[in-house]
Structure 1
Amino acid sequence: MRRPSRSRLFVVHLLVASLFLVLFGRLWQVQVLDGGRYARAAVEDHVRQITVPAVRGRIVDDRGRPLVRNRTAMVVSVDLIQLGRLPGRGRDVLRRLASALGRPYGEIAGRARLCSPTVGRPCWPGSPYQPVPVADGVEERVALQIVERPEVFPGVTAEARPVREYPGGPLAAHVLGYLAPDDVSGGGDPSGTRLVGRDGLEATYDADLRGTPGRREVVVDSAGQVLRVAREQPPRAGATLVTSIDAKVQEVVEKALAKAVRRAPGASTGAAVVLDARTGRVVAMAGYPSYDPRVWTGGISPADYRRLTSGDRPLVPRAIQGQWPPASTWKITSTVAAVKAGKDPRGGYDCSGSYRVGDRSFRNFGGIGHGTMDLRRALVVSCDTIYYRFAHEMWRKDQKAKNPADPMQKTARAFGFGRRTGVDLPGEAAGRVPDRAWKRAYWESTREAACAEARRGHPELARRDPARARYLTAVAAESCTHGYLWTAGDAANFSIGQGDVLVTPLQLARAYAALANGGTLFGPRVARAVVAADGRVLREITPPAEGRLPVGKKTLKYIRDALAEVPRSGTAAAAFAGFPWERVAVAGKTGTAESFGARDTSWFASYAPAGRPRLVTVVVIGNGGTGADAAAPAVREIWEGIYGLGGREAALPGGVPADDLPRLDAAGAEAPAARGEARAARGETAVKGAGPGKAAPEGDSE
C-alpha cells in the first residue's frame, strides 16, 4: 500500500483544526456574545403572566347611598395544570366537587375548560396558570369542607373575592346596567377575563369604575408547576361614581309604575322619568318590565338570557329606548307653533266635535264639541279640532310655497324632539319628527312591500276581523300609490302628536323641563361626579345647556297657567280628585295615543310646584287606556311619595334634590351631604346662579 503523502495529512489536519475553530467560535458567540439574550429567553419561557383584577368602583346615589357596591363571596376555583396530571384529567375530582357544591357536573366541568374557537361559553377565557373559578356564592361552611380535604379535592381552592352587589335588588336596574366578560380584551388585559360594563352607567363609565388590574409574574417548571412569584404589581381600585339618582324617589317611581301597568287591562310595558327642571339632572328613571341585575353575577344562564330578551324584553330600558306617539302632551309644541304663526292665544276658536280634512272627518276625542274657547281652555280640555284646523291652514299655506316652512316640525325640533337627548346612557333612541323628506324616504324604502300587501290583502285576518282587514288593505294601497305625499291628514295627526310622531319618555320629560324652567333645554345627565378611592373628586359632570325654546316669557307663562288647570278642572281632574293643592300645586297634560285595533297609550307629563317648578315627572303606559285612566294616577302617586302626602313619608323632603356632592371618605364609606339635606328638609328651592347644571333663568320677554 502506498502511504499517504505529507501534504494530504496536512490538509486533513488543517480541516479538522478549522472545524474545531468554527465550533469554538460558535460556542463563544452563544455563551459570551449572545449569552444574555438566551438566558433571558430561557427564563421568559418559564415565566407566566397572571392578571390580578382590580376592585371595581361603587355607584352611589346623590346622598351617597350605595346603588351598586362590592361584597366578598366565597369562590371555588380549580388548578387546570394540576388536574391535567391526574387520571382522566381530573374528571372524578370535578364530579366529587359538583356533588359537594350541590351543582350539576356539566356546569362545573364547563367552567373548568379553556375557551377556544371550538369551545364556547361556559368556559375559561383566561390563562390556565390562574385559578379558574367554577362556582361563586358558595357557603363558607361548604368551602371550608372542600379545602380541608385536599386528598379528596386535589387542585381545588377557595377564597373570598369581591363580587358585585345590588342593595336595592332590581332598583334602577336599567340605569345601572350590568357586567359581562370582555371576550376581546385589547387594552391591557392579556388574560381576557376582565368584566366590563355592557349597559347603563356600568358601560358609560366603565373606564372610571374598573380601575387598573395588577400583574403577577410566576416562574413555572417544565411541567407547568408554579415555583415562585418573580414580580408583582398590585391593582388599583376603581373610582366611585356619584349619580343624581335619589334612591328613595327611584323606589317610589318604580312601585307606582309597576302598579299602574298591572292595574291597566292589557298593559304590559311602561316607563317613567323624574327630572330636575332647573339643572337637567335625572332624579329617577324606570322601565317596566325590569329585571334583577344579580342574574348576571357569576355569568348568566342561557335560559335567563332568553327570558330577558324575549316577550316584553325586560332588558330594554324603555325610558330611553321605548318610543310611542306622545298624543296630546305634544300640544305644547303645537300651541307655540300656532302663536308664532300669528294666532292670538286669547282669541276665540271653535272646538267642534269634528273637523273635515279633504274627504276625511277628524273627530275630537269622543266626538264631543266644547264650543268656542281660547288656547288656554283648549289645553285644559284637550281639544283636538282646534289644532287640526291650525295644522290644516299651515299645510295649505305650505302647499303654495316654493320652500315649505313646516312651522310645527320646526317648533318640535326646537323642543328637542327628533334627536337624542345625549343622556349618559348607551343605546338611546332618537324618536321621530316626520316631515315631507321623511315621508318620501320612508315610502321609497317600503313601497314594494306596501304594493305587495295591497295586492295580497289579509285573507286570514278577514275571516276574524273583516273591518280591520279592509282598513289595513286600504292603507297599504294608499301607501303604494301616494305614500310619498305629505298630506293634510298627516299634518292634522302631527298637530296632536299622533300619526308617525314618536318620542321617548326622556325626550318628553326634557321638553316639559324646558317649559317649566323658563326655556332652557338641557342635555340630561345621570352621573354627577367621579370620586377616586382616596376621596378626591376627579371630575364633576354637568348637564350642558343645549339651547333655548323659541318662545318668550309671556307665552311660556300662558301655557304654564293652562297646564296648572288640567289636574284641577281639566282632563286629569278625576285622577287628582282630593289632592292637597294647598301643599303642592301640580301642573300637567294628559295624552291618549289612539291606535287602530289596540288599546290607547296612556301619557301624563307634569311638573311641580306649578308656580315655581322644580321637578318634572312623566309616565307612559303602553296599552294603558286614556291618559287620565292609567298614567295620571301613577304620576299622582309619585308626587305623593316625593312630598310625603296622604300620610306617606316624604322620599324627598321639600321636593328639592341634593345640591352638594356627598362626602365619601378615603375608604369609600358614605357620609351625609349635610348642607344639601338640611336645605331639602327646610324646603328651600333657591339656587345661587344660572347656567349649565344650575337654575335655569326665566324666559326672556316676547
Structure 2
Amino acid sequence: MSNIPDTGRTSRITIRLIVIQILVVSLLLTLGGRLWYLQIRQGDEYQEAAAGNHVQQVVQPAVRGSILDARGVPLADNETRLVVSADRTELLRQRDGGEQVLADLAELLGMEEEEVRNKVRLCDSQTPQPCWNGSPYQPIPVTDEATTEQALQIRERGEAFPGIIAEPAAVRRYTAPDGASTSQVLGYLSPVTDEEVEDAKDSDSPLLRSDQIGRSGLERTYDSYLRGSAGVTRYEVDKFGRVTGEADNDEAVAGANIVTSIDSRVQAVVEKELLQAMKDARQQRDEITGRNYEADSGAVVVMENDTGRVVAMASAPDYDPNVWVGGISGGDYQELTGEDSNYPLLNRAIQGQSPAGSTFKVVTSAGAVNAGYPFEGNYDCSSSYSIGSQTFRNFESTGYGPISLGRALEVSCNTVFYRLAHQEWQKDGGSSPGDDPNDFLYETAHGFGLGKPTGIDLPAEVTGRVPDREWKRSYWEANKDSWCEMAKSDENDFAHRLARENCEEGWKLRAGDAVNFSIGQGDVLVTPIQMASIYAAIANGGTLYEPTVGKAVIGADGTVIEEIEPTESGKLPASEQTIRQLRQATEDVVTTGTASWRFAGWPQDEVPLYAKTGTATTDNKQSRSWLTTFSDDYTIVMTMDQAGTGSGASGVAVRRMYEAIYGVSEDGSIDREAALLPQPMRDLPEIDENGTIIAGEDG
C-alpha cells in the first residue's frame, strides 16, 4: 500500500476552512459595523426615541367617605362643583412663567391677581399661606366655585389659557346639620406633600400626589378609611404624546364611611348655648378687676356614662371647615391663625388645659378616704386657714363649722381640703420627706386618669398635669439655671426673692403646693375631656373609659367593616361606698348646694341630676367657670375662660342642654316627644339593600 499523501484531498479541506474563516470574519465585521452604526452613529437618535416612549398615569381620585352622626345624618360628605385648576408645569413653559395667563384667569374669575398667584405658588419655610403644599406636578385648585359660563370660556379658549383646567370634581362639604358646625371634631383636608408620599410608599395605605388627607379631627384619625384608593389608568405613550397601548389599570375604590356617636341635634344645642353663655358673661361685671368678663373661649363635652362615647363636643371660638375646601385664602388663614384670632383651630375640649378649681375636690375627697379619713367625719370649715405667715381663705370667707366631706363638696368649702392636704403633707415628712412618702392625694389623682391622655380618637390630645414630687423636680431641673441667674441680682422684690428660693430648693414640694393642689389650683392642669371621663366614671360606678367619637366604619357597599366598641381604661381608686357617697354629695350640690339656684324647679325625682361647681383662677386673668354634671345617662362638662363662677356663668347653659336632651320645660314638666335623646343611641343607622346609610330622626 502506498504511503504517498493525497495532496488533492488535503488542499480541498484547507480551502474549505479558509472559506469558513472568511465568512465568519465577514459576519463579525458586518455585525460590529451595524452595532457601531446603531450605538455610535445613530445612538443619540435612538436614545431620544426610547426616552420618548413612556407610561403616563391618569389618576381618578376616589370618592372620600362621609362622616355621619349617630342617626346617619351627614356631617361631612361630597358634592360636585366646577373646579378650575392650574398646571404649574405647563405654566412654567410660558415665556413669562404663566404670569399673563394667571392675570387673565383672575379677571375671568373675578378674583384678585395676587390671590390667584398665591394659590399656585409652592409652600416652603419662607412662604406664608396661602400657598400650595402638595405636589408641584399635579393640578393646583384655584377655585371650586366657577360658574358654567366661566368653565366653558376656559375650555373653548384653550389657546388663551394654556395650563388651566376647568372640569367637574367631587369636593368636600361640611354640612352643619341643624346648625351644628362640629368643626374641631371633624377637622379639615389639605393636599398631600411629596415627603408624605415618600414616607407612606411602603405602608398599608400609600399616598398618591393627587390625594387630599385629613389634617385634624376625625378627618385625620380615620383618614386611611375615608380616603379610599384612587384609580390609576396607565397609558403607553410615544415621544409625540400618542397613545401606543394601555398597561395594567387600578380601579378606584371609594372610601368607607364613619358613623360617629355625635347627635347633630344635641351638638347644635350645645354650640348655641356655649356661645350664648359667653355672650351673657360679657355683659356681667367682674368685681375683682372692675371690668366686664372677657369670656373669650370655652368648651363643652357631652358623654355617655356607660360607654365613654361622645354625644357632643363644642369648642369656642370655632370656624367653618369649608374655608379649607379648594384651598384657603390668605384672609381666612390669617383669621384662623393670626395673633388676634384666639386660635379657633384649637379644640379646647381636648387641647385646652387649665386649673380645675373646685371640680377637682371629688378627687381630693377620694384621696382623703384612701388616706384613712372617713367620708362622714367632722372637718372644720373655717373661713380661712393659715400656714406660717400665709393665709388661705374660703370663697367669700364663709365658714360652716364642723362638716363632712360630702357637705364640704356641697357648699364647696376650701378650708376642709386645705387642712387635709396640709396634714398629709406633714405626715409624708413635709419639705424633707422620707424615702417612700405615701402621697395619697397625688396617687389618687393619677388613678383618676389625670396627668395623661384619655385616649380619645381625636389627634393632638394634651396630657394635663399632676404637679407631684416627680414633676416638681423635673420642672426645677428645667428652670434652675434661669432662677439661679436671676438670684445673683441685688434686687429684693418678690420675683427676685422667689428666684433665690427656687434656685436653692425649687425641687421641694412645699406646704403651699399641697394645699393649692387640694382644690385644683396651683400647678394643676386638666382638660374638659379628662373631667368628663372622671364624672362619667362616678356616674357609672367607677369605670373609666377611653372616650370615642367614632362608632363604626361602614364600607361604600354598606358592609360594616368595624364597630368601635367601648374600651375600659381603668377603675377609679375608690370603693363602691365612696363612689356612692360622691354621687350623693354631687346630688346635694344640685338640690341644696352651690348649683341649686340654677336648677330650682328641676324635676329631680324623674330626671336626677348631679353636679360640682368650680371657679379656677390663674395669674393675670379673670376667673374660669367650671360646671361638671351628670344624669343617669350622660355627663356634661362645661368650662369658659374669664367668665366668672361655675354656676353663675355656666349654670343656665348646662340646664338648657339637659332640658333639650330630656324634653324638660322651664316649669319642670317633661314633654317626651320634645326630648332629643332621652336615652343613648346604641344601634347603628339603618342600611338599605344598596348599601346606603339611611338618615333617620331616631336612628
> What's the TM-score once normalised by structure 2's chain length?
0.84
1:630 aligns with 2:640: no
1:19 aligns with 2:29: yes
1:258–1:455 Cα change, 3 Å: farther
1:198 corresponds to which residue? 215
2:82 corresponds to which residue? 74
Out of 367, 380, 388, which is 1:350 matched to?
380
1:195-245 Cα deviation digits (max 9, x unpaired): 111111111111001000111223445355778866543311100001111
**Structure 1 position 41, deviation (Å):** 9.2
Contact preservation (8 Å) 1:50, 1:127: no
**Structure 1 position 367, deviation (Å):** 1.4
Structure 1 CA distance for aligned equivalents of residues 149 and 394 of structure 2: 69
2:131 corresponds to which residue? 122
Structure 1 CA distance for aligned equivalents of residues 76 and 490 of structure 2: 53
1:170-201 Cα deviation digits (max 9, x unpaired): 71111111111111213356752311111111
Q: Residues 538-553 of structure 1 correspond to what in structure 2 (within 5 A)? A: 538-553=561-576
1:671–1:454 Cα change, 3 Å: same
Structure 2 CA distance for aligned equivalents of residues 650 and 338 of structure 1: 45
Rg larger for: 2
2:365 corresponds to which residue? 335
Structure 1 CA distance for aligned equivalents of residues 611 and 123 of structure 2: 55
1:231–1:340 Cα change, 3 Å: closer
1:497 aligns with 2:520: yes
1:622-658 Cα deviation digits (max 9, x unpaired): 1111112212232222212222333699785452121
1:681 corresponds to which residue? none
Q: Residues 407-426 of structure 1 correspond to what in structure 2 (within 5 A)? A: 407-426=440-459
Out of 435, 438, 451, which is 2:471 matched to?
438
Q: Give the aligned length.
A: 644
Contact preservation (8 Å) 2:660, 2:676: no
Contact preservation (8 Å) 1:112, 1:124: no
- What percentage of residue pairs aligned between the two structures are identical? 44
Structure 2 CA distance for aligned equivalents of residues 232 and 457 of structure 1: 77
1:637-696 Cα deviation digits (max 9, x unpaired): 22122223336997854521211011234766432569x75xxxxxxxxxxxxxxxxxxx
1:241 aligns with 2:258: yes
Contact preservation (8 Å) 1:398, 1:406: yes
Q: Residues 489-568 of structure 1 correspond to what in structure 2 (within 5 A)? A: 489-568=512-591
Moved more, 530-539 or 371-380: 371-380
**Structure 1 position 100, deviation (Å):** 1.4
Amino acid paired to 1:283 = V
1:160 aligns with 2:179: no
Out of 39, 63, 72, which is 2:71 matched to?
63
Structure 1 CA distance for aligned equivalents of residues 481 and 133 of structure 2: 48
Structure 1 CA distance for aligned equivalents of residues 636 and 84 of structure 2: 46
Out of 310, 321, 324, which is 1:296 matched to?
324
2:313 corresponds to which residue? 285
1:435-493 Cα deviation digits (max 9, x unpaired): 112112111211222344556699xxxxxxxxxx9554544343233311111111111
Amino acid paired to 1:162 = A
**Structure 1 position 504, deviation (Å):** 0.6
What is the SS of the residue equivalent to 1:670? coil
1:465 corresponds to which residue? none
1:602 aligns with 2:625: yes
Structure 1 CA distance for aligned equivalents of residues 26 and 121 of structure 2: 56
Contact preservation (8 Å) 1:603, 1:632: no
1:593–1:507 Cα change, 3 Å: same
2:12 corresponds to which residue? none
Contact preservation (8 Å) 2:306, 2:536: yes
**Structure 1 position 12, deviation (Å):** 13
Contact preservation (8 Å) 2:62, 2:227: yes
Contact preservation (8 Å) 1:641, 1:650: no
1:6 corresponds to which residue? none
Contact preservation (8 Å) 1:289, 1:313: yes
Structure 1 CA distance for aligned equivalents of residues 207 and 237 of structure 2: 18
Contact preservation (8 Å) 2:187, 2:220: yes
Q: Residues 120-519 of structure 1 correspond to what in structure 2 (within 5 A)? A: 122-123=131-132, 125-126=134-135, 128=137, 132-150=140-158, 152-153=160-161, 156-168=164-176, 171-183=181-193, 184=195, 185-186=197-198, 187-188=200-201, 192-222=209-239, 224=241, 232-264=249-281, 265-309=293-337, 310-311=339-340, 312-399=342-429, 401-453=434-486, 471-519=494-542
Structure 1 CA distance for aligned equivalents of residues 83 and 222 of structure 2: 27
Structure 2 CA distance for aligned equivalents of residues 523 and 24 of structure 1: 75
**Structure 1 position 426, deviation (Å):** 0.8
Contact preservation (8 Å) 1:439, 1:483: yes
Contact preservation (8 Å) 2:73, 2:696: no
1:117–1:227 Cα change, 3 Å: farther
Structure 1 CA distance for aligned equivalents of residues 111 and 180 of structure 2: 25
Structure 2 CA distance for aligned equivalents of residues 274 and 332 of structure 1: 19
2:633 corresponds to which residue? 614
Out of 568, 571, 575, which is 2:598 matched to?
575
Q: Which consecutive unaligned segments of at least 5 residues does structure 2 have?
A: 1-20, 41-45, 282-292
Structure 2 CA distance for aligned equivalents of residues 81 and 325 of structure 1: 53
**Structure 1 position 27, deviation (Å):** 8.3
**Structure 1 position 307, deviation (Å):** 2.6
2:694 corresponds to which residue? 671
Contact preservation (8 Å) 2:53, 2:236: no
1:135-185 Cα deviation digits (max 9, x unpaired): 322123432344344465466442211111011077111111111111121
Contact preservation (8 Å) 1:62, 1:658: yes
1:98–1:492 Cα change, 3 Å: same
Structure 2 CA distance for aligned equivalents of residues 198 and 137 of structure 1: 23
Structure 1 CA distance for aligned equivalents of residues 98 and 375 of structure 2: 82
Cα RMSD of the aligned pairs, angstroms, is 3.4
1:661 aligns with 2:684: yes
Structure 1 CA distance for aligned equivalents of residues 248 and 131 of structure 2: 31
1:44-103 Cα deviation digits (max 9, x unpaired): 833222322111110001110111000111012356676677775665444332211111
1:118–1:214 Cα change, 3 Å: farther
Contact preservation (8 Å) 2:633, 2:680: no
Contact preservation (8 Å) 2:115, 2:329: no
Structure 2 CA distance for aligned equivalents of residues 288 and 439 of structure 1: 32
What is the SS of the residue equivalent to 2:623? strand
1:103 corresponds to which residue? 111
> What's the TM-score once normalised by structure 1's chain length?
0.84
Contact preservation (8 Å) 1:642, 1:650: no
Contact preservation (8 Å) 1:603, 1:619: yes
1:644 corresponds to which residue? 663
1:283-308 Cα deviation digits (max 9, x unpaired): 11111111111111111234433332
Amino acid paired to 1:523 = E
Structure 2 CA distance for aligned equivalents of residues 118 and 412 of structure 1: 45
Structure 2 CA distance for aligned equivalents of residues 271 and 473 of structure 1: 37
1:574-612 Cα deviation digits (max 9, x unpaired): 22234343542211000111234431111010001xxxx
Q: Which consecutive unaligned segments of at least 5 residues does structure 1 have?
A: 1-10, 31-37, 459-468, 678-702
Structure 2 CA distance for aligned equivalents of residues 531 and 288 of structure 1: 31
Contact preservation (8 Å) 1:355, 1:389: yes
**Structure 1 position 19, deviation (Å):** 3.5
1:509–1:457 Cα change, 3 Å: farther
Structure 2 CA distance for aligned equivalents of residues 519 and 499 of structure 1: 27
